[in-house]
Amino acid sequence: MSKTIFQKIIDREIPAKLAHEDEHCIAIHDINPQAPVHVLVIPRRPIARVGEAKASDAALLGHLLLAAADLARKLGIAESGYRLVINNGRDGGESVPYLHVHLLGKRPLAWPPG
């Protein structure tokens, strides 16, 4: 199967603006930001989508959320607030079949989402 865009970014085959990296994940600024802060937190271990995560991925899933919260502090939006989004499947709006957590902030975000 061909590599997803995020696998290529992790493998440094295509560039991205890095916001964070550690041994379990990378975080990059979204190429088409939907808010002044729009970062994607992506696990190094490939998981297609959250619906395909296994019990053995529990620590990794937790790590992604903690990394996102840490990034929100670093990017100065912890106080004003932010939203974490995981799109799963067609109706969820998933466009890249490689699990990632969106971190959105620095503007008021409407609810319910579209």
Binding footprint of ligand 5GP on the chain (CB under 6 A): 5, 16, 28, 30-32, 40, 87, 93-96
Q: Which is nearer to ligand 5GP, 7 or 87 (CB)?
A: 87
| From 24, 29, 100, 102, active-site residue | 100
Give the C-alpha separation, 113 to 111, whole Å: 5
Q: Which is nearer to ligand 5GP, 30 or 47 (CB)?
A: 30
100 is catalytic: yes
Closest approach, Cβ 5 to ligand 5GP, in A, equals 5
Give the C-alpha separation, 55 to 35, whole Å: 32
| Paired residues of 82 in beta bridges | 105
Q: Please, what's the b/e burial string for 19-48 (b: 16 or more CB within 10 A of its CB; e: otherwise)?
A: bbeeeebbbbebeeeebebbbbbbbeeebe
Q: Which is nearer to ligand 5GP, 55 or 111 (CB)?
A: 111
Residues annotated as catalytic are 100
